[in-house]
Amino acid sequence: MTKLEGVRLTARKRPSEALVKKRAKGVIVSALRYLLLICLSYLILAPILSNIVVAFTHPKDLGLSASIWIPLRISFQNIHVSYLILNFGKTLPSTILYTLIIMLLQLICTILAGYSFARLKFKGQGLLFACVIMTIIVPSQVIMLPQYLYFRNFTLFGIIPLFNSGSGLNMLNQPAVIYILSALGMGLKSGLYIYIFRQTFRGLPRELEQAAYVDGAGFVRTFLSIVLPCAGPGLITVGTLSFVWNWNDTSFLSWFDPNNSNSLMFMYIKRTASMQEALNSISSKVPGDYTFITTNILYQNSVMKTCALFVLIPLIIFYLLIQKRFVQGVERSGIVG
């Protein structure tokens, strides 16, 4: 091997300057990406972790620098007090049942509307779908006042006054109003759910339905046996969003059912508005050996943070159970398309 050939072979083995710069750039970009993810994760998780630490910290150790992230003494007093304040044994099952009913009503209504917009052709279809889009764009608070006035004197197109001495029914202060709105497509974010189902059904091949029609299946049977099983991703996506948003919502309750004492989120807002009154209301139920300082701001804040955990933990458990299916549903339902 000549000297010139050896130099050429060595040059081939050494990475070029451009390749080195490209690899260095890739390492820097990856480092910045991970740094950004770590910062965002900290912003999201830090308040939750802080609440968890406070929930298990003894009331006498609150505010100590040594108990910021790891409690000096583990205590369940804050958890028990928050449980009593929120009446968790009653509000949790009531809230789950209430939210599931709304979710099912919204699923039934929006999936039928979404399928109609995706497959059926009728006059005024474009105008009606534009109205659906408007319900997404326009804040729900804008149309709540007309809804409130309508249900305060509910006439059902003038039929009820014929059997009620000429006057309508006052349907406020009961959850039936929210159920009616959800069943008729005017519940929380129903317009968005209709859009998601429309995109889901538009992504399904028409040949599946046409083959069912050729085999003699009717419209209803085709929808239930062919279309509905294929809409699984959309069902999971809409069901999850409906459950979470209705769990956290208090606007509909404050307008149509303000006296509801069984809603966990509603109870949390009412109780935390005046923590001293909330603590005084359960003073007779608290064991005598508890460190129960109702006038201490630090103690009130610790109980408030623990109450927030009670509201948040059911949603975290719910998401962990359906996390994989929910992510797949979002990818396949047409939201990102």
Q: Which domains does the chain have, with CATH numbers?
A: 87-273 (1.10.3720.10)
Give me the pLDDT at residue 100, please.
93
Record the pTM. Answer: 0.81
Give me the pLDDT at residue 337, please.
45
Give me the pLDDT at residue 332, please.
60
CB 71 within 8 A of CB 51: no
Ranges under pLDDT 50 in the chain: 7, 9, 11, 13, 337
Give me the pLDDT at residue 12, please.
52
- Residue 98 CA to residue 96 CA, distance in Å, equals 6
- Residue 103 CA to residue 101 CA, distance in Å, equals 5
